[in-house]
Structure 1
Amino acid sequence: MADDAAERRPRRRPSIRLRIVAAAVAVVTAALGVGAATLVWTLERMLQASVAEQLADELDALAQGIDEGTIQTAALVQRDDDVLVALRSPTGVVVNTDAAAALPVPEGRAPMTATVDGERFVVVAAEAEAGTIVVARSLASVDDAARSATALLAVAVPLAVILVATVVWIVVDRALAHVDRMRAQVDDIDATGLDRRIEASSRGDELDRLAATMNRMLDRIEADARSRRRFVSDASHELRSPLASMRQFAELARAHPDAVAPGELSEVVLHEGERMHGIVEALLLLARLDERGRGKLQPVDLDGLALEELERTRALGLAVDGAALRAAPVEGDPRLLARATRNLVDNALRHARERVALGSVVRDGRAMLWVDDDGAGVPIEDRERVFERFVRLDEGRARDDGGSGLGLAIVRQVARTHGGDAWVTGAPLGGARFVLELPAAPEPRGA
């Protein structure tokens, strides 16, 4: 079992610091190695070409001297052996040293390299009247220079690699030190310290941008935690109120049976239970919207949803004006959009004095549905807060009418889930106008 657990456990990889330094050392070593080899090869070829050029000039002088008679054959034999000379003629071969007799004859004027008695030579040849003149010069000095350069680079390249590795290690260590500091700061943040933030160095580099990103994430986490705590507190309060009402009435009925009319207890329980049911349903809907968002998109007519609400409210004996309704096609979840529309209408009916009006339109690619009332309206300073969960500007009337403070929060969440928004402004009737705005459905091709 322990062996199986060890096999399943992921192997620990080297640290980022070590991987970066290793990668830098590998790249620098490869680059310097190739550069050093190229340098030695180029140096050797350049020196060899220089020797060949000098030897070619000396060959031309010998050939000219022999042709003009200024250099005799005997003089060739007496030349120093720093340059090997061989004159090959039909009568024989004349050399200035025995090693010259082993020199090959190059084809044409191109120089060639040859090894004689274990030593490398550059060999050139030219045709003269007396025969073929072959001259050669040792490449010992060139080989010595190449070996010296190789030895020097064999020391310099490792030193350069060590220097680069040291510098990269220091730079990466300093950079990751900020990351370690940020990690430690984030690791110390718990549920009781969500107001703490990551310190930035004010250099404006990538680490500062990372710190800013993490701080924005912490802002969202703090706001979400604060909203969750407020949400739980408000939900507990909202659910405790109907429970308390039912308990108090039940205790009163048990203590004083004669004081409670028959059926009154059941009526209270049904009424408060309906309130609790509405709160729980709204909470579950908001939770689903937060978690999964909308369902499958389907064509929906906002004006059609508004007309259904007109028929519902008129069936209740209420007068609602729908003269401003115009075609407003969108794509969305019909069930959610119908719930948002009903919430807007119910909110207007709850706060209107006498009149409610509905309208819809498509303008600049946006479909809008609005509901007006002639109530007291919403103060400017509360027009954003009214869409928060469990916010009721008129506490007494909202509780009496069964409002939970979740209807408008659902409207905004549904709108934003569909890529739109919801807001409130003043209405021509004198009260509030609540607007549901969504992206309009694209027009069919060829329309």
Structure 2
Amino acid sequence: MSTRGTDVKRWRSWSLQRRVLVGAAAVATIVLVLGLTAFAVTLDRILYSSAQDSARVQAAQVADVVGKGEAPVEAALEEIPGHGSILQIIERRGGVVASSEVARRAPITKLRPAPGSVALDQVTGIPGETGEPHAIVAQGVRDPRGAEFVVVVGTPLDVATDTVQTATGLLAIGATTLLVLLLVLIWRILRQALQPVERIRSEVARITRVRGRGHLTVPPSGDEIARLAETMNLMLDRLEQADATTRRFVSDASHELRSPLATIIAAIDVAARSKPLDRTTDQGRDEVIASEALRMQRLVDDLLTLAKADDGLPLALQDVDVDDLVDVEVRRLRATVEFRVTASISAARVTGDPVRLSQAIRNLVDNAARHTTGGVDLGVGVDGGDVVVTVDNDGPPIPESERGRVFDRFARLEEARGRDRGGSGLGLAIVRTVVEAHGGTVHAGASPTGQCRFEIRLPGDGASSA
């Protein structure tokens, strides 16, 4: 993935509040830098223009004295105050005729405008100075005798430079302070504005945990957030009605199907006993019908169990010896299958519904028996304060990406579809429903020897069976 794609993904993973704050900070910083740059350039041009105008005035005054012959050229500068500027009178085609005290005899510029013309320049490194910048104005003049001279005025720009730096620095400090205050204000406004949204999110999460029952608190503000909460309440009402209708249908259908299924199974059993024994074809057909009817009956029972669980699975709580439940499954399995069945059982007791817990353990055992290639291992033990039940089979472990989905209703892994005969896809969903109703957890993984493992953890009651 390119760096740009990574940056975009990271940006989208941020919260809305963080993205708005960072975006506002970036835009404000760019505006601040551009504003400070424009301010510094503008102020520098203004001060430079002011220094240049001052130099023009001084040059015009000196040129007026020289042009009118009011004083000898060598003494013309004595008539004009320097005000910190460097003043020179240079023969247009010769050397320095007169110079202010701060300047040497070397010309400070190469500008040689004709009489009546003015030339401008900005230089650094004037002889005798320490590299300070100067605004140079050179004005050509002709004295009454016809001699041509150039009046040069160099106004120092160090004060202007210091002024620009100081003003820009103070403005940067003030603008940065205002930027920080603005970001704090934006953060507080965002947090206050998003609080109702976060409250709606937390309430929706709570409603999701209790399977869609409940309503959102509508803020009294009457703004967009309030209208969002009202719309979501309407949606939750429709979802709750649809969910209730579906669960009622499943429950009613399961109840209605149980009676005819029981009748069909009983009729097949009676017909099988009353027919002659040599009618092998009819007998095989009846066995298939009976098997499929029993399978349909188990599916109906599973659907009914899950429908009840959606409304809160009823539990008849009492002390349950989990090791006895597992021992029953071990003996049942050994009596009905030909592959190896091993067990490691320790005394363990929980508070729960023995019928439901037995159903959950049996579903795990039946699932292992359908998928094993050579054996099933069962275990019961105590780990800390939890009772742990493990069911292993020597098939491959479930891929990590599928270990959560395998407990969904009607979930069937692709690699198991061809050989998972007799499973309805509801057995593991019932296991999770029963275990979670008892405050426990169930997950799929791998045993220390690399076999497929399902593990149930139930909170123990601190006692063990005798």
**TM-score for the superposition, normalised by structure 1:** 0.49
**TM-score for the superposition, normalised by structure 2:** 0.47
